[in-house]
Chain A
Amino acid sequence: MAGAEAPQIREKVVIRLAGDSGDGMQLTGTEFTRSAALAGNDVATFPDFPAEIRAPAGTLAGVSGFQLHFASSAIYTPGDAPDVLVAMNPAAFKKNIGDLKPGGIVLANEDAFTSANLKKVDYAESPLDDDALNERHRVFKVAMEKQVALALDGMGLSTKEIARSKNFWALGVLYWLYNRDTERQVEWIQQKFAKKPQFAEANIKAFKAGYHYGDTTEMFGETYKVEKAKMEPGVYRNIMGNVALVTGLVTASQKAGVPLVLGSYPITPASDILHNLAKYRNYGVVTFQAEDEIAAIAASIGASYGGAIGVCSTSGPGLALKGEALGLAHILEIPMVVVNVQRGGPSTGLPTKTEQSDLLQCMYGRNGDAPVPVIAAKSPADCFYAAIEAVKVAVKYMTPVVLMSDGYIANGAEPWKIPEPDTIPDIPVSFRTEKEGYQVYARDEATLARAWVKPGTPGLEHRVGGLEKDFLTGEVSYDPINHQKMCDIRAEKVARVQQDIPPTYVEGDEDGDILVVGWGGTYGSIHVGVEKARAGGHKVGQVHLRWLNPFPKDLGDVLGRYKKVLVCELNKGQLWRLLRAEYLVDAQSFTKVQGQPFLVQEVQDAIEAALKA
């Protein structure tokens, strides 16, 4: 038996699962990721699904994919090209086969390669039988649906119900192929389907049948094993960006001792922030599903005015609607956090795909001069820390802060070494109650923040509003000099956030041929691209900006230490423009707007090209 042989050791493996939107590929991928993480691998994932809930079955538009990279060494991306492609139908095959590594494994659900399904994607005959394909890759055709039907025979399930378990069958095969322990998976299925014991039983049977199929057939010649990654000692969990962000917000609220109120309107890919925060009512969190994007931010403003940490979560189109209200928060000078989980734009754009094209909107998308601090998380787990930092700056400087994430890190996952709660510093917040000498817009000398006063505090009754106000009393003022002064001071206050930003962290070479600058969710691809370029003999540095407004104080100096600067981002050159404008640096731009993250190869090629330019 093939399974009896010693498994071959692999350092890194990339698997892509692809099927119809209803085939359960996201679940299968998430579960296999969990097993890899629990087995001690480093993992990175990339769910890639269509905006339609159920696009027509069998079409290219309906293909949902999940890519998982797991390894015994540190990894930073979900991988460029898969080693294994699981294709549940011809559409999934067609859309993904071009990415598979030469020699890679195709595991295809042969039952779905019917003439009708082939026709839907313009195949005259099954591509699985193509000689060239079989020369290039190792193709395994399995009649998954028949196998599942055999396994579930006698359970009294309908054909449709039986077909639903085929993703667990495929998961079983993968468990066998990569020598995973099945026990916890079985437990998970039991818990997940506790209320529907019949489906629990069916899924467990299908899962085990897949596993045994691998074990007993001669089809696969070998199995593989990815050893534990060498990770820092500690307790880990596998975490998605949106979950990490919510965990960070709740932690920040607890560390500040101030309740959190979220105003939100459902929008892809930010809705999970609303869903997850709603679970923490017992942590003093109130979530308010507003009637629209504007109401969501207006409620956050009301909450902050009332003495809570007001938060709203949205994506690009939602932020566009929030522009006026964000300007109000800015001029009121109240602390709040606006989370923008970016997606492909403009307009409705590509709701489920990733992009970084909201940077300039976050920076400038308001009427008047209304700067706000802007921070961007660089990976799923980093969303936790970025959220805490956003809250900290918001309450310290009495300002709205924009916290940027993107669809890629929001839905992607990675192992996170969980910090001990005691190691996370408290966030100091003080509400003014002293009547003596209170002036509504009097400021702290260091931060220029005004005092936070809760309505309900005796003797401090005052009015705030969107009209320009006197620099001290806060009363409405149309005085020209006062307006200049207030615009200056609000801008200066945001600039002073620089005090809280550590010096620019340079990875790779401290000076040299080229500095590669990025921000947000592209960190992993750029990191590996830079490492490869360095391995190729170039002196390359990497700066990944966390704060986009303000920039770190020393950034100009750092940029000056390299012969060339290359800015990589998933837009048409937004950070590139900011850096050129701010530092008069002749930076080059490498961009991509395909709704997909950078491949490492693309970054590497861009660095090579920039060096030659």
Chain B
Amino acid sequence: MPLDPPDLVKLTRKDFQTPNDVRWCPGCGDYAILANIQKFLPSLGVPKENIVFISGIGCAARFPYYMETYGMHSIHGRAPAVATGLKLANPDLHVFIVTGDGDALSIGGNHMLHLLRRNLDVTVLLFNNRIYGLTKGQYSPASEQGKITKSTPLGSLDYPVNPAAFALGAGASFYARTIDRDAKHMLDVLEKAHAHKGTSFIEIYQNCVVFNDNAFEYVTDKKQKVEHALYLEHGKPWLFADGKKGIALDKTTMSPVIVDLEKEPARAEDIMVHDENDASGVLGHLLAHMDHPQFPVPIGLFRQSERPAYDAQVIEQGKVALEKRGAPDLKKLLFSGDVWEVN
């Protein structure tokens, strides 16, 4: 029996708001994401009792407190593991994991890796602001090299993790990137993620107004984003700068190159065409490594692929086990092995 009879559910954005005061800093990108999610959920036709938000620790992790659904604010980095147990107990739930760049990629990097390779049917919302907010401004694993913060007064030394490359490398079956300020785009990505069976990993560029303001200005500022953002659409060429530039593949180095179509209009047909379902996964990896400022930053669904979700397989194994081994029988359980009788 389907758990979610859509025709019975008519919810509005307000149904997902809690009476709690939202305590993020004024101007924080999290507000926009929260508003978007609350706007998005009614469109699913899923009763709100079947939706659960699980988070770890950090600014983003306060998210479940503001959602009138089930939710758990767990411990640092472990939300993927908590969500896994939850889905094993009840695979019918719609589970969202809300995490930040520190939570997901530093302390919880291991869990994220394994969540992605298992392909648990959940949606990951990675709020990436490239800084530690809640602990007041240390650099994060996503911070650019040389970042000057309280903990790195001489500049950070470590090379940043690339969330897209990490996720796709770990076997993510769905990876998309969107931006806190781009409500329409985020809604589109959320819909696609919801339709995907398996782990949907969404990286959201999120502005930390206090500790890392305008970190993503190049894709949020109206003027700059024309040159620096590449919006992906399935079946459409990788074009940016109002269609004046595009990305082609240098076949000798197997690496992306920018083609200025105003200067070389004949190369229009060399421009890569986006295929969200690219079976090889090569396109996704090319996109993952296109980074600012050398390249325009790809925004949108990089790749989705189909493979059975972990929880679906667990259910399947359960059915097979029941068929093969029969219904639970305590007598059989207790009296198994070599038994003998004493009179």
Q: Which residues of A contact B (CB under 8 A)?
A: 34, 37-38, 40, 184, 228, 231-239, 247, 250-251, 254, 259, 261, 263, 280-284, 286, 288, 290-292, 294-296, 298-308, 310, 324-325, 328, 332, 417-419, 421, 424, 454-467, 475-476
B88: A residues at CB distance < 8 A: 261, 286, 288, 299, 302-303, 306, 308
Which of B72, B111, B338 contacts A238 (CB under 8 A)? Answer: B338
Q: Are B78 and A298 in contact (CB under 8 A)?
A: yes
B52 within 8 A of A: yes
B296 to chain A: closest CB distance in Å? 35
| Contact of B49 (CB < 8 Å), options: A283, A294, A421, A458 | A458
Chain B CB within 10 Å, residue with most, of A40, A299, A300, A424: A299
* Cβ-defined contact, A294 with B81, below 8 A: yes
Are B49 and A461 interface neighbours, CB within 8 A?
Answer: yes
Residues of B within 8 A of A283 (CB): 328, 333
Task: Return B42 CB to nearest CB of chain A, in Å.
Answer: 15
Interface contact A282-B322, CB-CB below 8 Å: yes
> Is the C-beta of B85 less than 8 angstroms from some C-beta in chain A?
yes
Q: Does B325 contact A (CB under 8 A)?
A: yes
Chain A's nearest CB lies how many Å from the CB of B169? Answer: 16
Chain B residues with CB under 8 A of A254: 328, 330, 333
User: Is B90 interfacial (CB 8 A cutoff)?
Assistant: yes
B49-A298 in contact (CB<8A): no
Q: Is the C-beta of B321 less than 8 angstroms from some C-beta in chain A? A: yes
Question: Contact flags (1/0) for B58-79 with A, using CB distance below 8 Å?
Answer: 0000001101111111110010
- Whether A294 contacts B78 by the Cβ 8 Å rule is yes
Q: CA A499 – CA B16 in complex, angstroms?
A: 42
Q: Does B235 sit within 8 A of A, measured CB to CB?
A: no
Chain B residues with CB under 8 A of A288: 84-85, 88
Contact of B324 with A by CB under 8 A: yes
In angstroms, Cα B256 to Cα A607, docked, is 80
Whether the pair A233, B343 counts as a contact (CB closer than 8 A) is yes
Query: Distance (Å) between the CB of A376 and the closest chain B CB?
Result: 23
CA distance A358 to B204 in the complex (A): 44
Q: B85 contacts A310, CB within 8 Å?
A: yes
**Residues in B neighbouring A459, C-beta threshold 8 A:** 49
Asked if A467 and B78 sit within 8 Å, CB to CB, the answer is no
Binding site secondary structure of chain A: mixed
Interface status of B54 (Cβ within 8 A of chain A): yes
B228 within 8 A of A: no
- B20 and A282 contact, CB distance less than 8 A: no
The chain A residue sitting closest to B326, CB to CB, is A282
Q: Are A324 and B75 in contact (CB under 8 A)?
A: yes
Contact residues in B for A454 (Cβ distance below 8 Å): 90
Q: Are A300 and B50 closer than 8 Å at their CB atoms?
A: no
- Contact check, B85 vs A476: say whether CB atoms are below 8 A apart: no
Inter-chain contact B73/A37, CB cutoff 8 Å = no
**What string of 1s and 0s marks CB contacts (under 8 Å) between B317-343 and chain A?**
110011011111011011111111111
- In whole angstroms, what is the CA distance A301 to B93 when docked? 16
Known: A282-B318, A282-B325, A290-B81. 11 other contacts (CB 8 A): A236-B341, A254-B333, A281-B325, A286-B89, A298-B84, A302-B83, A302-B89, A303-B89, A419-B334, A421-B334, A464-B72
17 residue pairs bridging A and B, Cβ less than 8 Å apart: A233-B342, A288-B84, A290-B81, A290-B84, A295-B80, A303-B89, A306-B93, A418-B334, A424-B330, A455-B49, A455-B70, A456-B3, A457-B49, A458-B49, A461-B49, A463-B67, A476-B65
B82 engages A305 (CB within 8 Å): yes
Asked if B86 is an interface residue, CB under 8 A from chain A, the answer is: yes
With an 8 A cutoff between CB atoms, is B297 at the interface? no
> Within 8 Å of chain A (Cβ to Cβ): is B279?
no
Set of chain B residues within 8 Å of A184, measured between Cβ atoms: 338
B225: Cβ under 8 A from any A Cβ? no
Give the shortest distance, in Å, between A252 (CB) and chain B (any CB).
11
Residues of B bordering A, CB below 8 Å = 3, 18, 20, 47-50, 52, 54, 57, 64-65, 67-75, 78, 80-90, 92-93, 110-111, 113-114, 314, 317-318, 321-322, 324-328, 330-331, 333-343
**Complex CA–CA separation, A307 to B71 (angstroms):** 14
* CB closest residue in chain B, given A295: B81
Q: Chain A contacts of B335 at CB under 8 A?
A: 235, 237, 418
Q: Are B338 and A34 in contact (CB under 8 A)?
A: yes
Contact A303 B73 (CB under 8 A): no
User: Which residue of B is nearest A421, CB measured?
Assistant: B330
Pair B81/A298 contact, Cβ less than 8 Å:
yes
Which residues of the other chain, B, contact A251 by a CB distance below 8 angstroms? 330, 333-334
Closest to A455 in B: B70
B121 CB to closest chain A CB (Å) equals 14
A552 nearest CB across to chain B (Å) = 28
In the docked arrangement, what's the CA distance between A317 and B93, Å?
Answer: 33
* Chain B residue, CB-CB nearest to A39: B340
> A232 vs B341: C-alpha distance in the bound complex, in angstroms?
10
* A415 CB to nearest chain B CB (Å): 9
Most chain B Cβ neighbours within 10 Å, of A34, A299, A302, A325:
A302
- Provide the bound-state CA to CA distance between A231 and B20, in Å: 64
Are the CB atoms of B81 and A302 closer together than 8 Å? yes
Q: Collect the chain B residues with CB atoms within 8 Å of residue A228's CB.
A: 342
Given A282-B325, A456-B3, A456-B90: A299 and B81 interface contact (C-beta under 8 Å): yes
Q: Are A455 and B339 in contact (CB under 8 A)?
A: no
The 3 closest A-B pairs by CB, nearest first: A302-B85, A465-B73, A306-B89
- Nearest to A281 among chain B residues (CB) is B321
Measured between beta carbons, the chain B residues less than 8 angstroms from A300 are 85
Give the CA-CA distance A578 to B66 in the complex, in Å.
43
CA A290 to CA B310, docked complex, whole Å: 13
Collect the chain B residues with CB atoms within 8 Å of residue A233's CB.
342-343
Of B74, B81, B89, B90, most buried by chain A (CB within 10 Å of CB) is: B89
A476 to B341, CA, bound (A): 58
Contact partner of B85 among A280, A299, A332, A462, CB < 8 A?
A299
Distance from A489 Cβ to chain B, minimum over Cβ atoms (Å): 20
* Residues of the A chain whose Cβ atoms lie less than 8 Å from the Cβ of B90: 306-308, 454-456
* Residues on the B chain within 8 Å of A284, using CB: 318, 328
Known interface pairs A305-B72, A305-B82, A419-B334. Does A292 touch B110 (Cβ–Cβ under 8 Å)? Answer: yes
Report whether A298 and B328 are in contact in the complex, using a CB–CB cutoff of 8 Å.
Answer: no
Q: Which residues of chain B have C-beta atoms less than 8 A from A465's C-beta?
A: 64-65, 71-74
Known: A328-B75, A461-B48. A308 touches B89 (CB 8 A): yes
Report the minimum CB–CB distance from A97 to chain B (whole Å): 33
Distance in angstroms from B56 CB to nearest chain A CB is 10
Residue of B47, B318, B343 with most chain A CB atoms under a 10 A cut-off: B318
User: CA separation between A307 and B50, bound complex, in Å?
Assistant: 13
Known interface pairs A232-B342, A303-B89, A455-B86. Does A463 touch B73 (Cβ–Cβ under 8 Å)? Answer: yes
**Chain B residues within an 8 Å CB radius of A325:** 75, 78
Given A288-B85, A303-B85, A475-B20, also A235-B93 (CB < 8 A): no
B113 contacts A291, C-beta separation under 8 Å: yes
Q: How far is the CA of A247 from the CA of B331 in the complex (A)?
A: 11
- The answer for the CA separation of A299 and B72 in the assembled complex, in Å, is 13
B54 to A, closest residue via Cβ: A302
Given A302-B89, A455-B49, A461-B68, A236 contacting B342 (CB threshold 8 A): yes
Distance in angstroms from B309 CB to nearest chain A CB is 14
Smallest CB-CB separation from B336: which chain A residue?
Answer: A237
In this complex, what residue of A is CB-closest to B321?
A281
CB contacts (< 8 Å) of A295 on chain B: these are 78, 80-81, 84, 110-111, 114
**Chain A residues near B57 (CB-CB < 8 A):** 466
> Known: A300-B85, A456-B92. Is A463-B75 also a contact (CB below 8 A)?
no
What is the minimal beta-carbon distance from A593 to any residue of chain B, in angstroms?
Answer: 32
| Minimal beta-carbon separation of B338 from chain A (angstroms) | 6
Q: In the complex, which residue of chain A has the Cβ closest to the Cβ of B343? A: A233
Interface pair B333/A261, CB less than 8 Å apart: no
Q: Known: A251-B333, A286-B88, A462-B70. Contact between A299 and B65, CB under 8 A?
A: no
Question: CA separation between A290 and B74, bound complex, in Å?
Answer: 17
Which chain B positions have C-beta within 8 A of A299? 81-82, 84-85, 88
A303 to B72, CA, bound (A): 12
